[in-house]
Homo-oligomer: A and B are copies of this chain.
């Protein structure tokens, strides 16, 4: 990828109903809106929508990371305990290394206010130079969860050698040297 190309960010909605058109996707737009607000302008967003099918989820993640070249891919939906909620499993098979702190932090932030947040099974991790983060499907949960982890994302991409994705407020959080 040449230095002049923009940083690419993937947003993958996982939903049987939305992919059949029975239901308007609310998760994908909530993620997109959050990213546009909290990251500085200049990145290119690539949106995808798949059913709760593990092979379709894994294939979309591989396409966004390996073919499109996204530095960051956010999924929304399919992280609960329902029988069709298989996004974490479909994500795990394409990850090279997991980052357990993302799921821990998102659940820990949510649980004091929403006791059922412990049912959220989302994970995160690394594939090549891409960071993949699962989020729940509810717009309110998306807001809480992304806000809990977003300060660490620019530094993670830097460590992966990915193109830069600075926060819109220009802040760089404290880190251990």
Contact = CB atoms under 8 A, between A and B. Distances in A.
Nearest to A103: B100
A93 to B, nearest CB: 14
Interface in A123-176: 126, 131, 136, 138, 140-141, 149, 151-152, 155-156, 159-161, 173-176
Contact of A105 (B85, B107, B141, B174): B107
Contacts of A155: 116, 119
Given A108-B104, A176-B140, A177-B138, A118 B83 contact: no
A81 B173 contact: no
Interface residues of A, number: 49
Contacts of A176: 110, 114, 116-117, 136, 138, 140-141
A96 to B, nearest CB: 9
A4 interface: no
A102 B107 CA distance: 10
Contacts of A85: 97
B140 A119 contact: no
Nearest to A140: B176
Contact of A151 (B82, B116, B136, B177): B116
12 contacts: A81-B97, A81-B126, A81-B131, A81-B160, A86-B97, A98-B121, A99-B118, A99-B121, A100-B107, A101-B111, A101-B118, A116-B151
Interface of A: 80-83, 85-86, 88-89, 97-105, 107-108, 110-111, 113-121, 126, 131, 136, 138, 140-141, 149, 151-152, 155-156, 159-161, 173-177
